[in-house]
Amino acid sequence: MIDLRSDTCSRPTPEMRRVMAYAEVGDDVYGDDPTVKALEAAVADILGKEDAVYMPSGTMTNQVAVRTHTQPGDAVLFDQAAHVYVLENGGVAAFSGVLPRPLPGVRGIFTPADVDAVIGVPHRFFPTTVTAPARLLCLENTHNNGGGSIWPLEALEAATAAGRRHGLATHLDGARLWHATAATGVSEADYARSFDTVSVCMSKALGAPMGSCLVGPADFVSRARRFKQMFGGGFRQAGLVAAGALHALEHHRPRLGETHALAARFAQGLAQIDGIEIDPASVQSNIVRYRLTDVAAGSVVDQAHQRGLWMLPSGADAIRAVFYLDITERDVDDALRIIAQAIDASPRVGAEPTARGGGY
């Protein structure tokens, strides 16, 4: 099975398994796991922040960040398709009790004017007590629902500056920030500089088994540790998995460009298949989203799965495929062949099943 559902489907390498097996461990809840502490220090240093806290998942680091920055009833600004807003099971409402204020981003990227428009213009005749006070602005880089889109550094800095003009704290969902750096050469620290806090994931881009880090000022991270524990994130001998993350930081981060090349190869091949719409130039990192013109995404995904290719439908007519270090060029070519077959085997939308031309 060629599994392109997500880069979270990667498997630990033999070398990663070895360092995990022999990791020095303690009890993370008591703060004495030396491998967790080494990971937190390394990530804080890479991102240019004072401190970091390691948690089981990127969803948890994002949700803890929102909870630590806000109080119930506050408003938080997100892109309309942000992961923390639409793909974390309503956590911002359930855990933090905040009011989402969506921004009209294009592939996840919005402007200072968008921020200004959501905040509005205060006037002395309008009571300040009738609207939820905006406290936090969240960005995502790279942007999952945007197809792995990367924020230009200038646009990112302009958007966060707009937030600060309105007195907002800033948080970056940088689950795949490593990919933005690999694609552009802009360091993680330069991307992180505009933000109070940043979340980075070890189990997506880097291929570790689990875990994410939330970085920021030392006093913020200290408060975040309380919510980590409250949300059930205290995991005892966590050095076993932190060792895998440390290994990935050192050995896998330099290889992320390989996954971008695979995604580009895949996008170029998709553009040659009848019934698919995609602009290969829009693929900026390791995520490829493409549209089907006259067959249903669910049907194509099912047909492809029967033939040995696993992908995710993304709405009625679109599909997502994600590339990671386990995937090879041969996998890409085989996937393209299977997709063409799956389209041929799928009924046209609103028509009886019929044979189709096309291929890679």
In this predicted structure, what is the pLDDT of residue 205?
Answer: 82
Strand 99-103 vs strand 75-79: parallel, antiparallel, or unpaired? parallel
Please name which of 257, 262, 278 lies closest in space to residue 178, comparing C-alpha atoms.
Answer: 257
CA pair distance 298, 315, nearest whole angstrom: 9
Burial class (CB in 10 A: 0-12, 13-18, 19+), 232: exposed
Q: Please, what sign has the CA dihedral across residues 208, 5, 106, 266?
A: positive
CA pair distance 87, 117, nearest whole angstrom: 25
Q: What is the pLDDT along the chain (360 residues), one digit of tens a residue?
A: 999 999 999 999 999 999 999 999 999 999 999 999 999 999 999 999 999 999 999 999 999 999 999 999 999 999 999 999 999 999 999 999 999 999 999 999 999 999 999 999 989 999 989 999 999 999 999 999 999 999 999 999 999 999 999 999 999 999 999 999 999 999 999 999 999 999 999 999 899 999 999 999 999 999 999 999 999 999 999 999 999 999 999 999 999 999 999 999 999 999 999 999 999 999 999 999 999 999 999 999 999 999 999 999 999 999 999 999 999 999 999 999 999 999 999 999 864 433 333 222
In this predicted structure, what is the pLDDT of residue 350?
Answer: 64
Indicate yes or no: pTM above 0.75.
yes
In this predicted structure, what is the pLDDT of residue 353?
Answer: 39
In this predicted structure, what is the pLDDT of residue 227?
Answer: 98
Instruction: Assess contact for 199 and 212: CB atoms under 8 A.
Output: yes
In this predicted structure, what is the pLDDT of residue 359?
Answer: 24
Owner of token pair 């994931």: 201
DSSP characters for 221-275? HHHHHHHHHHTT---TTTHHHHHHHHHHHHHTGGGHHHHHHHHHHHHHHHTTSTT
